């Protein structure tokens, strides 16, 4: 345990409160499977999503945004070009951004593109175990995540049954969540977008990542308690995220 987690429930609650107060704009380059659900998760948390991938206008959107998500799902030439323009605008306007290298384990070209993006300095990378192995060439232990975070100077948020959040110096394990989260498409993508929203209001990207993953995990536990299956779960987790309060976070958060 390398983290000052005693007061983490309150830190997470504070971050979520700032998202609700400031309504940060999160521009998302994401796959068409995930766009609708991602937008609804952001709105439920109090953020304002935008989603255009048109190369002509994406720079305007990103320059006016408070965070950027680059998700590689359904990646085509237009989205690749959009990502390049978006990152240029993000660098110029110092907009923090999140990389979500979806399914890079399935496509060598996508993995290569993810590596070029990683070199452009995301604040955080959120990915699962197979994607972590494809990107960093190592297993998904918390030691490996810490090494990867140090090597790429970004927070690594490696999600699974437990989520590992590491930067070069600190590590945390977030143990909130529910098995039905794995049966709703775009849940990981939405988590990455939520991390964009927390990054927009919390300069410490490691805390922002913990806040996003813990909030979604706790919302998932609440949803799982009443859901009849993945359909009602997908609906209930949005409700739970929208209603998530400090007392619930204090009672449920499991971060070590």
Which residues here bind a second copy, judged by CB under 8 A? 31-37, 39-40, 43-44, 49-57, 60-61, 64, 73-78, 103, 106-110, 183-186, 227-232, 234-243
Residues 154, 58: Cα–Cα separation, whole Å: 24
Cβ-based neighbours of 42, under 8 Å, separated by 6 or more:
26, 28, 48, 49, 190, 193, 194, 196, 197
Within 8 A by CB and 6+ apart from 80, the residues are 113
Minimum CB–partner distance for residue 254 and a second copy (Å): 23
Using an 8 Å Cβ cutoff, are 173 and 162 in contact? yes
Task: For residue 196, give both structure tokens.
Answer: 């964009």
| Residue placing its CB nearer to a second copy in the complex, 127 or 234 | 234
Tokens in use for 195?
Answer: 């991390």
Residue 244: HSE in the Cβ half-sphere, 13 Å Cα cutoff: 37
Taking alpha carbons only, the member of 197, 161, 174, 182 closest to residue 234 is 182
Nearer of residues 19 and 205 to a second copy, judged by Cβ:
19
Q: What is the nearest approach in angstroms of a second copy to the Cβ of residue 235? A: 4
> Judged by CB, which is closer to a second copy: 64, or 169?
64
- Shorter beta-carbon distance to a second copy: residue 43 or 162: 43
Residue (43 or 93) nearer to a second copy, CB: 43
Write down the least CB distance from residue 11 to a second copy, Å: 24
User: Which CB, 75 or 132, lies closer to a second copy?
Assistant: 75
Provide, rounded to whole angstroms, the least separation between the CB of residue 212 and a second copy: 18
CB 65 within 8 A of CB 50: yes
| Residue 142 near residue 164, CB atoms below 8 Å | yes
The token pair that represents 52 in the structure block = 């255009």
Q: Is the dihedral of CA 232, 237, 242, 245 positive or negative?
A: positive
CB of 55 to a second copy, least distance (A): 8
For a second copy, which is the closer residue by CB, 48 or 162? 48
**CB 25, min distance to a second copy, A:** 9
Task: Say if residues 211 and 196 touch (Cβ distance below 8 Å).
Answer: no
Q: How far is the CB of 74 from a second copy (least distance, A)?
A: 5
């Amino acid at each position: 345990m390398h983290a000052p987690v005693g007061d983490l429930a309150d830190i997470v609650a504070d971050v979520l409160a700032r998202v609700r107060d400031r309504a940060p704009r999160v521009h998302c380059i994401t796959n068409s499977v995930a766009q609708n659900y991602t937008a609804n998760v952001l709105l439920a948390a109090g953020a304002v999503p935008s989603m255009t991938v048109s190369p002509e206008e994406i720079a305007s959107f990103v320059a006016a945004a408070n965070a950027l998500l680059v998700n590689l799902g359904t990646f085509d030439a237009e989205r690749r070009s959009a990502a390049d323009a978006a990152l240029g605008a993000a660098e110029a306007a110092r907009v923090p951004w999140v990389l979500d290298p979806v399914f890079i384990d399935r496509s060598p070209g996508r993995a290569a593109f993810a590596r070029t993006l990683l070199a452009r300095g995301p604040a955080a990378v959120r990915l699962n175990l197979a994607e972590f192995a494809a990107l960093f060439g190592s297993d998904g232990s918390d030691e490996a995540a810490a090494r990867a975070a140090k090597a790429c100077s970004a927070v690594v948020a490696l999600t699974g049954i437990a989520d590992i959040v590491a930067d070069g110096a600190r590590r945390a394990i977030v143990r909130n969540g529910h098995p039905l989260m794995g049966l709703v498409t775009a849940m990981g993508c939405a988590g990455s977008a939520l991390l964009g929203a927390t990054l927009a209001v919390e300069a410490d990207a490691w805390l922002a990542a913990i806040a996003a993953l813990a909030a979604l995990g706790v919302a998932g536990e609440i949803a799982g308690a009443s859901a009849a299956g993945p359909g009602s779960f997908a609906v209930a987790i949005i409700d739970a995220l929208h209603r998530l309060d400090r007392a619930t976070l204090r009672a449920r958060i499991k971060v070590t």
